[in-house]
């Protein structure tokens, strides 16, 4: 029996059913030609309080069904695409995975989330000066931060430029 015969619409089938294999739940790749002899798990879709399924709800339903590795790949590629299209910034596809892994390690070590704090501080403007960010890009602390980041990310510390610390400050 085909899955498409069990439901009134492909959307209903998509929201209500997943296949299960040794890696966990994932969507059925070919709704029209799938065979029901596979193990099937019924999932009750969660409807928003308004009762209307929005495009965002549909996207999130789909995202939740991804395997963990596929989800990481998707988030990285989506972030890279948004950064490029909306901000004109090149973001490596591994950025999201590195950021999440770093935040997890900070949380495990019971440290504050400096990754989020740095991003927030570089994004939001000061209330007393709308042309300057909460984390002052043009002040000495930025040069110090740049130096430390380069130093600890370097394979060989001696390759980090000593002049980097003095950028605009010496």
Question: Would you give per-residue pLDDT tens digits along the chain (170 residues)?
Answer: 444 455 555 555 555 544 433 444 444 444 444 443 333 344 445 555 666 778 888 888 888 999 999 999 999 999 999 999 999 999 998 999 999 999 999 999 999 999 999 999 999 999 998 888 998 888 878 888 888 888 888 877 666 665 554 544 44
- Whether 26 is in a domain gets the answer yes
Tally Cβ neighbours within 10 Å of residue 7: 15
Confidence (pLDDT) at 83: 94
- Whether 167 is in a domain gets the answer no
Where does residue 131 rank: exposed (0-12), middle (13-18), buried (19+ CB within 10 A)?
A: exposed
Confidence (pLDDT) at 150: 87
- Whether 141 is in a domain gets the answer no
Confidence (pLDDT) at 2: 46
Please list, in sequence order, all residues whose beta carbon lies within 8 angstroms of the beta carbon of residue 84, skipping any fewer than 6 positions away: 90, 91
- Whether 9 is in a domain gets the answer yes
- What is the Cα gyration radius of the chain? 23
Q: In the chain, how many domains are there? A: 1
- Whether 50 is in a domain gets the answer yes
Residue 116 has which token pair? 């989020």
- Whether 169 is in a domain gets the answer no
Cβ atoms of 40 and 13 within 8 Å: the answer is: no
Cβ atoms of 4 and 13 within 8 Å: the answer is: yes
- Whether 36 is in a domain gets the answer yes
Q: Give the separation between CA 83 and CA 69, rounded to whole angstroms.
A: 21
- Whether 51 is in a domain gets the answer yes
Confidence (pLDDT) at 123: 92
Cα three-residue angle 122-88-148, rounded to 5 degrees? 40
Domain of residue 21: give its range. 3-64
Confidence (pLDDT) at 21: 39
């Amino acid at each position: 029996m085909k899955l498409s015969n069990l439901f009134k619409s492909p959307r209903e089938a998509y929201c209500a059913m997943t296949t299960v294999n040794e890696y966990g739940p994932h969507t059925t790749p070919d709704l029209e030609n799938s065979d029901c002899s596979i193990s099937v798990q019924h999932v009750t879709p969660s409807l928003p309080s308004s009762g209307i399924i929005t495009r965002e709800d549909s996207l999130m339903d789909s995202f939740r069904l991804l395997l963990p590795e596929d989800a990481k790949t998707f988030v990285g590629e989506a972030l890279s695409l948004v950064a490029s299209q909306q901000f004109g910034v090149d973001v490596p596809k591994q950025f999201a995975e590195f950021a999440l892994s770093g935040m997890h390690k900070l949380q495990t070590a019971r440290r504050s989330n400096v990754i989020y704090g740095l991003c927030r501080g570089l994004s939001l403007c000061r209330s007393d000066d709308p042309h300057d960010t909460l984390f002052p890009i043009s002040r000495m602390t930025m040069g110090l931060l740049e130096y430390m980041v380069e130093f600890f990310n370097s394979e060989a510390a001696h390759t980090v430029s000593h002049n980097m610390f003095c950028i605009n400050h010496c």
